[in-house]
Structure 1
């Protein structure tokens, strides 16, 4: 998720100080991705460094208001106009964990999958029971919150489906057939081992 572009898009609505940006981000995401104030100010400083935002007025309480620049507005438009590209490689901890576990001797991968499924189903149930605590149940904050929660629900459902799929695929192989012994071929330093066909 791009905190940087999200904060810029909020600044495009008008000048804000750090805590205000955090509150506005929370309003628009239903507090599903909490940001700490340090992260907000670090991001603002980088936005200033890159010419996307600038410090503006200071109010009587000492709040420094940040303003978007023309270059920042162009950055927001480019972000909103560009689709999000998913990376091709996976850094998903669960996928890596199961891939490694499936190739280790003596690991009951079915048990690993069952424990994960229980947790994933529990998270899915919590998300399905979640209710918005905002004032207006039909307002824009409710809509923003529900969009984020719906995304989390669909991701949790996909994870459970993937766990079912993985369990089915692994059940087609006897456990010992998946075990990988350590390779006797030593890779050269800094380079991956060559795969021979």
Structure 2
């Protein structure tokens, strides 16, 4: 998650102070990714250092407001139009755990998968219930970030979590089937159910020479 670009995006609608930015971010994303206020102010300091925001000083109510510079507005605009391309695949704790489990003697991989599937199913049920109740009734107008667009934003975030959980359950089913096939064939469980291992030319030639 890019806290930097999220704050810049919020500031496109006018100057904000730190607690206001945190509250609007959490409201617009359905409270899915709570922000630490220290992280907000640390990020604002970096944005000011980089010339993307300007400190407008105290607003008279004890709040220090920040506003976008022209460079910051351009950066926010570029973020919205450019597709997200992570340089490296993000670390997935579950994938790492399974990769190590299938290659570590004595680990009950099937039990691990079943426990994780139960936990993911519970999370999926929670997200689905939250989706059913999302937008039910008119919310009180608590600020410039409130309204139908905010309801839609929260709904889209919930649906993202639902799709992710559904995909994880399908992947766990695949992993369980692969591990069971390996056990039935007498093979030692290896990492192949979890990812495709690259074969180097040297390794390939060694196998051919055997």
Q: Look up the match of 1:118.
A: 118
Structure 1 gaps, min length 5? 181-194
Q: Does 1:97 align with 2:107?
A: no
Compute the displacement of 1:177 (Å).
Answer: 2.5
Distance 1:90 1:76 in 2: 23
Q: Check whether the contact 1:11–1:67 (CA below 8 A) recurs between aligned residues.
A: yes
Over residues 59-95 of structure 1, what are the superposed CA-to-partner deviations in whole Å (9 max), with x where a residue is unaligned? 2222111000000011011101110124554521101
Distance 2:16 2:114 in 1: 47
Q: For the structure 1 residues 135 and 26, does the alpha-carbon distance in structure 2 shift closer, same or farther, using more than 3 Å as the test?
A: farther
Structure 2 gaps, min length 5? 140-146, 191-201, 205-210
Over residues 117-174 of structure 1, what are the superposed CA-to-partner deviations in whole Å (9 max), with x where a residue is unaligned? 0101000001101133786378112101001010001000000000001111111112
Q: Look up the match of 1:152.
A: 161
* Length, aligned pairs only: 184
Q: Check whether the contact 1:57–1:65 (CA below 8 A) recurs between aligned residues.
A: yes
Distance 1:23 1:120 in 2: 28
Q: Check whether the contact 1:105–1:179 (CA below 8 A) recurs between aligned residues.
A: no
Q: Look up the match of 2:188.
A: 178
Distance 1:150 1:86 in 2: 21
1:112 counterpart SS class: helix
Over residues 23-49 of structure 1, what are the superposed CA-to-partner deviations in whole Å (9 max), with x where a residue is unaligned? 111221111111011111001000001
Moved more, 137-146 or 101-110: 137-146
Q: Check whether the contact 2:5–2:76 (CA below 8 A) recurs between aligned residues.
A: yes
1:177 counterpart SS class: coil
Q: Look up the match of 1:196.
A: 203
RMSD: 2.1
Q: Look up the match of 2:152.
A: 143
Q: Look up the match of 2:65.
A: 65
Q: For the structure 1 residues 3 and 152, does the alpha-carbon distance in structure 2 shift closer, same or farther, using more than 3 Å as the test?
A: same
Q: Does 1:3 align with 2:3?
A: yes
Q: For the structure 1 residues 15 and 134, does the alpha-carbon distance in structure 2 shift closer, same or farther, using more than 3 Å as the test?
A: farther
Q: Does 1:161 align with 2:163?
A: no
